[in-house]
């Protein structure tokens, strides 16, 4: 009998949708030995999710792929609300900005999921040898519980099965519409069990099957709404399945509707609602909530797909949008899918197996959240797993994945519930019409939901990684993270925070490089590569008091026992774990980089001085004045801001409390065996 090959891998990712690819991108950027498998033979080519929130664009930008999405996508700038007038005829009742002005340097855009997957795949290939292994699915999962707390062990054993080409090709990928074959998304309805179909099919192709056994340190189940991984763990999604089916049409419309290139929410008097999403390449997506479900044996409702086709969806849109006409000659993609509004009971088992994306939350597509929140799950998780695998951080940080992301998923479902009711309900005829939906309420909810939907509002609670007041260190399921009451707990100094919110992502404003005067957005200085940033806002360094504090800080940071030396491996680059950045607000031309302590401009025998760590808040030649001190409310006395590898603020404290910084990192970073090569030294010269 042939022996089954066995191998070890640090991280095994199941599923190469947006959540799995985001995880793989972190692994690639952080140099982790990882594998990513998918049962499908190809990535998706069109259709599915399309909206990219501004926070997601910031994240893609941090991986160096934001510009591709920004350039290719359709930019959505305005939302038009259309409601019935007194005669029941739809009229534009309001216009509101699509993204709240000023919350990000990006605004919401739309581009289909296949392109976004493409950008990830390219980024992964560029940074590593990781490739999506397609036509591969797991068939068995075992966890050796006796090993889960042993950092160096491989407690997870997964048997993988390689599929035949036929198995890996979804059977229903296109529909004939007017003699034209059009790709559809029916095969991936998030309530239909396609995994079982595939397993059945595989029996026909025994010869093509081959198996291997993989021992992994960590396993990520990013395998969508039917998650095989979740089922193996016996974890459940809690919540309701709705009776609504969403019909989605991607068409090049031929219409006299004047706002077809705007995002529109159209409520008709009696024929339902449609969401219009203008897309790239003259495409427009229409989302229509249909109610064509049938009862199944267990009493639940299931989509009756046979009754839905592009014509049915189009006719619904025509009724809602009348008296305007809408039709098409070109149909790019369509789908009809039933959604459940559900959240996973747990996002992780032993902090060795993690679930992310649709595997732990499903909801309606209207607010364009599915892909965004799924990617943001693994954006939260990836750097944490990478730093534990590399031995930089302790395993205790992994508990914060559930405590941070499950709450977000719960908020998402609550938002979706409310929004669904308001979007799908019939507009109230008058104030006495109790069953109807008030359009004022709809607009208010829309505006309120805007901040949430942008992804910017995410505010992580107090934890090992977020030094702020509060004891919301629960894991998202009520259990407390054991470190909650540690005597060494560090808390930020709120009086210094200004407009920085500890727990939220740091806002971006422009600063100039001290050495070459080039303007940079602050977030551009924080690429996703797994490094922590300690940003010293040093104030006016021509002021003797500030200068004194800066000298003291540099001295302390260079100390043998301080975090920088203690937690950077001797073999690592000086800034591989922590990057020290300095932003001052003395006039740029009154100082040079040699007026700053060497810890901010590391010297390398081959590369010379590091010119990319010292920045100034001053006027640029061509791009105005970022005024980061004013915008963030940085006090004259300056402050230290610790920013996590995912750009969320961990801590804000005074410049002279360097001990707090070391204590903060001491709570979860690993003490390294040998002293690092970090240099400090030169004193700040007496600058004018």
The binding site for ligand FAD (CB under 6 A) comprises: 14-20, 37-40, 48-51, 113, 137-138, 185, 188-190, 195, 222-224, 228, 248, 335, 337, 357-358, 365, 368-371, 374
CB of 118 to ligand FAD, least distance (A): 14
Who's near 522: CB < 8 A, 6+ residues apart? 506, 507, 508, 509, 510, 511, 583, 628
CB of 649 to ligand FAD, least distance (A): 27
CB of 35 to ligand FAD, least distance (A): 12
Q: Which of 279, 533, 547, 601 is catalytic?
A: 279
Annotation marks residue 279 as catalytic: yes
Backbone angles phi, psi at 439, to 5 degrees: -70, -25
What pairs with residue 240 in β-bridges?
A: 341
- Cβ distance to ligand FAD smaller for residue 107 or 189: 189
Backbone angles phi, psi at 566, to 5 degrees: -65, -30
How many Cα atoms are found within 13 Å in the side-chain-facing hemisphere of 334? 26
Q: Show the beta-strand stretches assigned E in 144-291.
A: 156-162, 174-177, 180-184, 210-221, 237-255, 263-267, 273-278, 284-290
Tokens encoding 233: 């763990």
Does residue 464 contact residue 396 with C-beta atoms inside 8 Å? yes
Tokens encoding 597: 């302590």
Work out the end-to-end distance of the chain between its first and last CA atoms, rounded to an integer number of angstroms.
81
Angle at 458 between CA 424 and CA 654, to 5 degrees: 160
Tokens encoding 6: 């066995």
Neighbours of 601 (CB within 10 A): 22
Does residue 131 contact residue 125 with C-beta atoms inside 8 Å? yes
How many Cα atoms are found within 13 Å in the side-chain-facing hemisphere of 125? 9
How many Cα atoms are found within 13 Å in the side-chain-facing hemisphere of 234? 3
- Cβ distance to ligand FAD smaller for residue 367 or 581: 367
Annotation marks residue 499 as catalytic: no
In which element (H, E) is residue 141 found?
A: strand 136-143
- Cβ distance to ligand FAD smaller for residue 337 or 383: 337
Q: Which residue has the tokens 């949008």?
A: 321
CB of 42 to ligand FAD, least distance (A): 10
Annotation marks residue 197 as catalytic: no
CB of 5 to ligand FAD, least distance (A): 19
Annotation marks residue 365 as catalytic: yes
Tokens encoding 118: 């493409």
| DSSP letter string, 496-565 | GTTT--TTSBPP--EEEETTT--EEEGGGGS-SSS-EEEEEEEE-TTSHHHHHHHHHHHHHHTSTTSHHH
Nearest to 343 by CA among 449, 397, 398, 414: 414
Does residue 29 contact residue 530 with C-beta atoms inside 8 Å? yes
Q: Which of 18, 84, 310, 365 is catalytic?
A: 365
Nearest to 106 by CA among 131, 134, 135, 71: 71
CA distance to 170, 223, 526, per residue, from 167 (Å): 7, 17, 42
- Cβ distance to ligand FAD smaller for residue 357 or 645: 357
Q: Which residue has the tokens 């300690």?
A: 534
Cα separation of 659 and 557, whole Å?
Answer: 9
The arrangement of strands across the sheet holding 510-513 comes to 519-521, 510-513, 614-616, 578-584, 532-539, 639-643, 649-653
Cα separation of 621 and 32, whole Å?
Answer: 41
CB of 359 to ligand FAD, least distance (A): 6
Residue count of the chain:
688
Q: Which residue has the tokens 């008030």?
A: 438
Tokens encoding 567: 């937690």
- Cβ distance to ligand FAD smaller for residue 51 or 407: 51
- Cβ distance to ligand FAD smaller for residue 40 or 399: 40
Q: Which of 50, 61, 250, 595 is catalytic?
A: 50
- Cβ distance to ligand FAD smaller for residue 38 or 58: 38
In which element (H, E) is residue 362 found?
A: strand 361-362
Cα separation of 662 and 671, whole Å?
Answer: 11
- How far is C-alpha 216 from the geometric centre of its chain's CA atoms? 24
Active-site positions?
A: 50, 279, 287, 365
């Amino acid at each position: 009998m042939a022996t089954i090959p066995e191998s070890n891998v640090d991280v095994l990712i199941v599923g190469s949708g947006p959540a799995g690819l985001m995880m793989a991108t972190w692994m690639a950027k952080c140099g982790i030995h990882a594998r990513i498998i998918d049962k499908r033979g190809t990535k998706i080519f069109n259709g599915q999710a399309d909206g990219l929130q501004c926070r997601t664009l910031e994240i893609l930008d941090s991986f160096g792929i934001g510009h591709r999405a920004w350039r290719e996508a359709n930019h959505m700038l305005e939302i038009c609300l259309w409601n019935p007038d007194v005669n029941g005829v739809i009229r534009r009742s309001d216009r509101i900005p699509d993204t709240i002005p000023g919350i990000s340097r990006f605004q919401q855009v739309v581009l289909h999921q296949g392109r976004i997957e493409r950008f990830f795949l390219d980024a992964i290939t560029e940074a590593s040898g990781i490739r999506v292994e397609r036509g591969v699915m797991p068939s068995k999962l075992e966890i050796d519980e006796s090993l889960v707390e042993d950092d160096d062990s491989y407690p997870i054993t997964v048997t993988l099965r390689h599929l035949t080409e036929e198995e890996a090709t979804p059977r229903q990928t296109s529909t004939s519409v007017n003699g034209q074959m059009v790709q559809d998304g029916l095969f991936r309805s998030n309530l239909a069990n396609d995994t079982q179909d595939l397993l059945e099919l595989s029996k026909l192709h025994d010869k093509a099957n081959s198996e291997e056994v993989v021992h992994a340190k960590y396993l990520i189940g990013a395998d969508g709404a039917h998650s095989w991984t979740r089922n193996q763990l016996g974890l459940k999604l809690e919540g309701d399945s709705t009776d609504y089916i969403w019909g989605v049409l991607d068409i090049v419309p031929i219409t006299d509707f004047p706002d077809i290139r705007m995002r529109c929410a159209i409520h008709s008097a009696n024929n339902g609602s449609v969401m219009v999403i203008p897309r790239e390449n003259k495409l427009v997506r229409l989302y229509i909530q249909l109610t064509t479900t049938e009862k199944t044996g267990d009493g639940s409702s299931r989509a009756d797909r046979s009754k839905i086709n592009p014509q049915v969806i189009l006719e619904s849109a025509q009724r809602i949008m009348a008296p305007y006409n809408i039709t098409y000659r070109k149909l790019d993609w369509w789908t009809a899918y039933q959604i459940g509004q559900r959240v996973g009971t747990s996002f992780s088992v032993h902090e060795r197996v993690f679930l992310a994306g649709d595997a732990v939350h499903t909801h309606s597509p209207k607010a364009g959240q599915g892909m965004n929140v799924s990617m943001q799950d693994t954006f939260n998780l990836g750097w944490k797993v990478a730093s534990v695998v590399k031995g930089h951080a302790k395993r205790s940080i992994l508990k914060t994945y559930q405590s941070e992301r499950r709450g977000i998923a719960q908020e998402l479902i609550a938002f979706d519930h409310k929004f669904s009711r308001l979007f799908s309900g019939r507009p109230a005829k008058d104030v006495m019409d109790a069953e109807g939906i008030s359009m004022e309420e709809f607009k208010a909810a829309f505006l309120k939901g805007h901040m949430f939907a942008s992804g910017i509002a995410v505010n992580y609670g107090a934890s090992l990684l977020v030094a702020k007041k509060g004891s919301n260190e629960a894991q998202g399921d009520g259990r407390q993270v054991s470190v909650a009451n540690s005597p060494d707990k560090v808390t930020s100094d709120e009086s210094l925070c200004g407009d920085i919110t500890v727990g939220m992502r740091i806002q971006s404003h422009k600063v100039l490089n001290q050495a070459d005067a080039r303007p940079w957005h602050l977030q551009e200085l924080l690429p996703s590569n797994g490094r922590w940033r300690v940003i010293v806002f040093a104030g006016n360094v021509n002021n003797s008091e500030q200068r004194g504090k800066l000298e003291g800080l540099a001295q302390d940071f260079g100390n043998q026992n301080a975090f920088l030396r203690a937690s950077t491996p001797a073999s690592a680059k000086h800034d591989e774990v922590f990057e020290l950045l300095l932003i001052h607000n003395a006039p740029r031309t009154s100082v040079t980089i040699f007026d700053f302590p060497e810890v901010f401009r590391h010297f390398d025998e081959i590369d010379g001085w590091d010119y990319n760590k010292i920045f100034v808040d001053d006027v640029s030649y061509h791009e105005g004045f970022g005024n980061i001190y004013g915008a963030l409310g940085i006090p004259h006395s300056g402050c230290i801001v610790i920013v996590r590898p995912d750009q969320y603020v961990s801590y804000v404290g005074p410049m002279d409390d360097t001990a707090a910084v070391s204590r903060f990192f001491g709570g979860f970073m690993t003490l390294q065996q040998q002293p690092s090569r970090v240099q400090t030294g030169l004193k700040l010269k007496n600058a004018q």
